[in-house]
Structure 1
Amino acid sequence: MQNVLIVEDDNLQAGMLSTTISQKYPDWTITHTDNLEQALKIIDDSVHTINFTLFLLDIHLTELENDKGGYAIAKHLRGINVYFKTPILFLTSVSGDGHYAMSNFHCYNYITKPYDAGIILNQISHMLLTGFLETMITVCDIERIKHHISVNDIILIEASGRRKTLQLTNSRIITSMYTIEDFIRMTDSRLIQCHKHYLINPFYIENTDRLNRCLNICGNNIPIGRKYWDTFFETVELI
């Protein structure tokens, strides 16, 4: 689950952004403010509570021609340890602004106005798939011990009846409290279903065998189900 801050002075545009993201990712928390001073206060307060994981910053926060409030926020963020690498998507109506932002504030990308829902979701999806936008989940194992896990550390999830085995980079967790669909939702679709019994992290794939309909991932030979074939390869090719 992600915690997103949108800083956009146009409330109509901000509502469109918030609705687009919420409909696709209903578990995400979204906060909106429309001015520089309030944004800085929200950011400073969040350092000691729940950190934001993504920022969408409008570059021009007033009607003044020389206003670049979004840059001021980005500069402030990069001066805070916990936000030094947190992804920023700039929002702008001038493409030249975006190029400057990427060069000077190490932002992930920029989106030009008017916003297009497909472009917004594509940018976020790519951040999730590439691991740029980290996702943390909490899993309760069969002994009811809670584990806080980065999705980046999950190699695959195997289903055997009610039991699901999470193979991580450094351990294994067995749980019976979740379905495959639960894990897809919890991981923001970062894991790809290649078979009714398997979810895999595409970044650990070593090779695929189209002839025998299987893949190798960290020494595991995993089948690719006929039902998931097309979607699996379409998703992998986007990464």
Structure 2
Amino acid sequence: MIHKTLIIEDNKAHMKALCKIVKELQRDIEIYCAYNTEQAYQLILEQHIHLFIIDIILNTKKPGDVSGLDFAREIRGISKYKFTPLVFITSLEDPKLYSYSQLHCYGYIEKPFSVAQVKDIILGALEFPVKEDDDRYVYFRKDGIVYSVYIKEIIYIESSRRKITIHCVNDELEIPYRTCGEILQELDSKSFVQCSRYCIVNKKYIKQIDYTNRFIKLRNVDAPIEIGIIVKKSFKQSVENG
């Protein structure tokens, strides 16, 4: 599974160094970068983050700034991020104590940081089990507008004529084309599996599977869904493994 890591750091040199260190871990890690809380809020809407690395001071021009702590406090109020590992970047002593007691911080990286220190802390944080949570929304952008879709209500997703159609329990949404691999990455849920080159299904809505004739019947869907020859084996393994 790919661990999505969000680094929030206003200093470009420090950001570059942290990204380089994280990439050297040779793990399935996808890195997202934000230089301020506005960018960070946008990213947590569009992605499901598994690890936060947050600089406590994000505005060095503002005396007493602790906007990184404020951001952490805000995300702790979001159910899916209530227990997501947080690692703070700091040279401050007092906020460090607050972060442990109030925000359930996993650890902190002290400036100036060393490569060994950063790797040790991040590797430890990545050992935390990733909670599979479908009781959340996934966000898709279309024509400059961000649409929210409740993951539990997605039945299947298909691509045709260079567009993607997301079929839900009560409605459907068309968005610009992207590959099934990209869609699965955005969904970030084991409930979904690719059943053909052009289609992804939610395993929780599967009513019947006919491997001989290669089709699936889904709840709330009249027409059968094809199982592609190329993905038939991986589809079967995914369904049988839950």
Task: Calculate the TM-score normalised by the size of structure 2.
Answer: 0.52
Closer/same/farther in 2, CA of residues 168 and 3 from structure 1, 3 Å limit:
farther
Distance 1:153 1:19 in 2: 36
User: Which residue of structure 2 lines up, in the alignment, with residue 161 of structure 1?
Assistant: 161
Distance 1:57 1:218 in 2: 39
Distance 2:209 2:124 in 1: 34
Whether the 8 Å CA contact 1:25–1:188 is kept in 2: the answer is: no
User: Which residue of structure 2 lines up, in the alignment, with residue 151 of structure 1?
Assistant: 151
Name the structure where helix makes up a greater proportion of residues.
Answer: 1
Whether the 8 Å CA contact 1:162–1:179 is kept in 2: the answer is: no
SS class of match (2:230) = helix
Residues 189-220 of structure 1: CA deviation (Å, up to 9, x unaligned)? 54311011111111221221222221111243
| Amino acid corresponding to residue 168 of structure 1 in structure 2 | C
Give the counterpart of 1:48 among 67, 74, 77.
74
The residue correspondences of 1:160-239 to structure 2 (distance < 5 A) are: 160-188=160-188, 190=190, 191-220=192-221, 221-239=224-242
Distance 1:73 1:208 in 2: 50
Computed over aligned residues only, the root mean square deviation of the Cα atoms, in angstroms, reads 4.7
Distance 1:167 1:216 in 2: 14
* Identity over aligned pairs, percent: 19
Distance 1:196 1:146 in 2: 26
SS class of match (2:134) = coil
Aligned residues: 177
Structure 2, gaps ≥5 residues long = 8-20, 33-46, 55-66, 88-97, 107-122
Closer/same/farther in 2, CA of residues 77 and 228 from structure 1, 3 Å limit:
same
Structure 1, gaps ≥5 residues long = 6-14, 34-40, 59-71, 79-89, 91-114
Distance 1:235 1:183 in 2: 17
User: Which residue of structure 1 lines up, in the alignment, with residue 63 of structure 2?
Assistant: none
The alpha-carbon deviation at position 177 of structure 1 amounts to 3.9
Residues 174-194 of structure 1: CA deviation (Å, up to 9, x unaligned)? 123433232122222543110
